[in-house]
Structure 1
């Protein structure tokens, strides 16, 4: 698009034509989506190699080994991940008279820039924010620049307005940049302006002079409260306006005049002079995500209908949000009725809706593309919409519906025949349902409802109880999370059939004094128990026969529990006990047999009153390979009795009172391969004998007393570690 290489189409915008080009190139493996995200693409490795070969000496990735001939003749140079300090390389670079593109190179003086008068593209993103104004003014003498990236800088010179050919200006992450110079309005050819994550407080009035501006990105400019655009017609060519994460509460008047607008992630309904929701009606080309805020300001239900969302075929994600005091339920319902979107919508979110019931269109099976639904803080609703009818729904999040007491047949269908409700649903989350007491289920063909559900999360539903408070049969469920509920819900697990369940997380379950309260599904391989303060003991029976991993966090009595009966357990994590809730503990484990001998991995973290480890008890862990001790602030030395001889990895992190590693501890660790020591500021030295011959990697970080003793060749502890293949100190290999 920028190079005018795309052929116009009679019925399609240039952006749509470009998207087709991209999809075609992806299908041919020229490009590929970065980590599955369709908004980011990278070149395929093989195609990149071909492009580098075909470009010859025209393009160069600068390194400290690049030849002077290449540097002087290349037209496009980048030095990503390269810090050039060699004076000869810099001299060759600045003698290049044909250079057109220079990416992320730190300039050292004004003189360096004066030799680059033909530059078209310049990026400064890799340099520090503190650049002298003299150098910035010198940049403004590069009159042929079309693309300029000054991200992370602190200030912008007034001379920026003399770059008359500039088309793209990036000022991202400029945390100290609070304003733009008025001269910005002189950039008559500017098409793309990105100020995201900057501290801009107000745009200059001259912004309205940028009549060629296509894209204005203000994402996360949280100090910005107004746009300073008196009339939207001043920016008639605008195609993208992004004000997400800003404090802007009103949009410019006559937004409907921006007929070329394609991306408007956030639209705020004005209270007084701001834009009316009916302004959306004439914006026929909107694409992607649209969030409409301030719906409490809709004056007339007719205005909501005039927004004409039902005809906006390219809107894929829609968010509807009311704020402040929830308006009258009748008015809110009528507004929601009028905001029915196109049936091709893929995701719907509704926030703070004040109606008692949802519109009839919410949950209709005609929305066959709908994959995600969020209903958040709809405090007056007493009944859920028939979301089970949505054939493609994969993710459902319902939170803060305070009036819902019972979820019944209405949740699965509106009375029409649905043979398999929620047939595509994979993730189901309920939270903050203060009055919810009963969850009823319906009969369905082919294994019932939720047959493809993989994750179920129930959080802060304190009144949900009874033998049937969980679905009886979920054949595909892999993860179950129960948070902030009563112990009845956990106990009801013994009545459920979940043949695929592998992870169970229990968190903040009130009044749960013992666990498990019944027989858990045998397929569970990992259990996490978090912040269950009243949990006193663990049962001897009812545990999954194939349990491999157990993580316990923030449970008041957990250091007293006997875990020896978990004979299949291979991984154990004991993490975070509130200091005021824990008594002084001389050693852990207290006795032999408190931990299962099958453990392979063991982690202790943030147990602040633990003074030491019981080496005698740990010696019986004859399968232990990995031991991690983190943020246990009272530990002063490793156990004299030693550690299990099977250890291959030992990690010591943030032990501020650790003073000695104890040579006896390491003498018998003949299998140890990796030793990591971090943030142990009082650790004075390594054991005064050679560390195990098996050790192949030693990492030391933020240990000020230890660091000088380990210097290559001259440190006092160097003779004890010189045999280790890899030694890393504060991130650097030595």
Structure 2
């Protein structure tokens, strides 16, 4: 390919070249002379050993597609911000790459920013300006430096799979809501991840659109004391929740599909005999498909049920809950007749 391009250069035809395809680990550098190909639209530098692009790449003003996948690129030049016609920037599996240009926000025509396999600590501030983005595989939430989660607020064209990383850097509920995930209706697969941290004690998940949470991740939160799920409408169960040894408080609200507490290796009703051993409070509200509760809650002190119409009975062992101090049942029609104070058949 080098020879072909060199010949084009020699006979002064480079101005008409639209596609330049360079591939192979033997290619070490990108010649600056190629930056004179002013009509170039598609540039493929896949599987090359190129570790840096020249600043003069800014002269490729008509460039719409740049593919550096599986290359050795370490840094992108600041001048890449001037490629205002760029629509697709593919950086998949560029392992040496650790950060993106600070002025990436000026590439407002970007539709695709492929960073799969890239270990970014954070995005540059201003990514909120890239409102044309459709493909963005992941977003590591910044803390002291980098883009905060709120910068996702107006990126409502995102589609396909999306991974939110470093969620421990979200400072408040208001900050979490500023991402406006409910407006991203084209997402098909959403992953929420926290940096592995055994010291986490409280966890709240709001408006999650996935059908489940990775059990391998959840079961590692050995020190978790309190967990809350709110408006996670596609969950039917929460795997391994009962195996968290220090979990004391469970709060489930507006879980429209939630049916039961179930473990990976139990049946649908869930044999929970050796689970939920530390749970003291169980608050369940507006879970209208819930059909069963854990069968054993040896340390339960508070049980609160509100608007759970499909629930027909409490655990058979409830009379042995010697620590139970509060039992509140409201707007649970099938339970009302059985457990109504003084007159219910099970009172």
TM-score (normalizing by structure 1)? 0.32
Q: How many residues align?
A: 267
> Residues of 2 paired with 1:179 and 1:239: CA distance?
23
- RMSD over aligned Cα atoms: 4.1
Partner of 1:203: 76
Instruction: Give the equivalent residue in structure 1 for 2:228.
Output: 359
Deviations 1:207-229 (A, max 9, x none): 111111111111111111111x2
Sort the Cα spacing of 1:417 and 1:322 in 2 relative to 1 into closer, same or farther, 3 A. closer
Structure 2: runs of 5+ lacking an equivalent: 266-272, 293-347
Distance 1:237-1:415 versus aligned 2 partners, 3 A rule: closer
Q: Which residue of 2 aligns with 1:172?
A: 46
Shift of 1:348: 5.6
Distance in 2 between residues matched to 1:379 and 1:140, nearest whole Å: 70
Q: For 1:304-355, what per-residue CA distance to the aligned partner results, in whole angstroms no more than 9, with x for missing partners?
A: 111111221111111111115456433x32xx23xx245xx56765846855
Looking at structure 2, the residues matched to 250 and 139 of structure 1 have their Cα atoms a distance apart, in angstroms, of: 45
For 1:197 and 1:374, the matched residues in 2 are separated by: 36
In structure 2, how many angstroms separate the alpha carbons of the residues matched to 1:139 and 1:374? 66
Q: Partners of 1:238 and 1:206 in 2: how far apart?
A: 16
Q: Distance in 2 between matches of 1:168 and 1:287?
A: 23
State the distance in 2 between where 1:143 and 1:263 align: 31
Mapped partners of 2:191, 2:140: distance in 1: 12
SS at match of 1:150: strand
Distance 1:237 1:220 in 2: 23
CA contact (8 A) 1:170 1:195 kept: yes
Rounded Cα–Cα distance in structure 1 between residues aligned with 2:67 and 2:149: 26
Distance, in Å, in 2 between the alignment partners of 1:193 and 1:373 is 42
Question: TM-score, normalising length from structure 2?
Answer: 0.64
From 215, 221, 245, the counterpart of 2:94: 221
Question: Could you tell me how far 1:232 is from its partner in structure 2?
Answer: 3.7
Say whether 1:192 aligns with 2:65: yes
SS in 1 for 2:132: coil
1:158 to 26, 32, 40: 32
Matches within 5 A, 1:474-493: none
Partner of 1:280: 152
- Corresponding residue SS for 2:23: coil
Structure 2: how far apart are the matches of 1:237 and 1:328? Answer: 40
Counterpart Cα distance in 2 of 1:138 and 1:215? 30
Name the CA distance, whole Å, in 1 between partners of 2:133 and 2:247. Answer: 38
CA distance in 2, matches of 1:146, 1:192: 11
Q: Deviations over 1:494-528 (max 9, x none)?
A: xxxxxxxxxxxxxxxxxxxxxxxxxxxxxxxxxxx
Hey, what's the Cα distance between the residues in 2 that align with 1:317 and 1:285? 14
Cross-structure match for 2:275? 406
Contact 2:256 2:288 in 1 (8 A): no
**Cα 1:417–1:379, aligned 2, differ >3 Å: closer, same or farther?**
closer
Larger Rg: 1
Counterparts of residues 515-530 of structure 1 (less than 5 Å): none
Quick one: distance in 2 between partners of 1:158 and 1:225? 24
CA contact (8 A) 2:20 2:44 kept: yes
Distance of aligned partners of 1:279 and 1:113 in 2 relative to their CA distance in 1, 3 Å threshold:
closer
